[in-house]
Structure 1
Amino acid sequence: MVLESVIVHYEKECVKVSFYDSLGKLINFREFSGERRITLDFSGVEEVRITPYSFTEGLMVVLKGVKEFKVLEAEEVEEVPGVEGGEVEEQE
């Protein structure tokens, strides 16, 4: 399978991963519940675009030039009450 781009959508309780060929044709689709931590491995990525959704709590990540893709891990996670996202510090 020759991939051209992979689009990862996150909305509320669901992560959707769509795979497209160089002609823009959908060649594969995977969906994971939002209650799972997913570790994805991509090789040969040429470009990454990240777009937050303003109309819903979500995110879209577009990866161009993907040569290979693997789901390394999909595990259940527990929500920690009272913990919210904060600033991320850059590490050198």
Structure 2
Amino acid sequence: MSSAEFKKNDEGYDNYTYTAIVENTTEYSFENVSVVLNLYDKDGVKQEAYANVNSWAPGEKVRFEAYSQCDAQQIKPTVQYYSVAD
């Protein structure tokens, strides 16, 4: 997830959408993947936004999307939780 490139879209009225298309390059099917976006504004103050997906098969691309009122100058995504499907 650290190599995912989240793009910021200004929705107006101090609202922003952060999105990234990420491919599952593993051999595992995942369930309940939760990602935390650590968003740093121009003053270096961190806020968090969350994105998730319920299922993610090998080779599949998914869109992670999060909303925030933070005008991030830097975005650092990390995986908060995931489980491997049976």
Choose between structure 1 and 2 for higher RCO, CA contacts under 8 A separated by at least 6 residues.
2
TM-score (norm 1): 0.30
More strand by share: 2
Greater Rg over alpha carbons, structure? 1
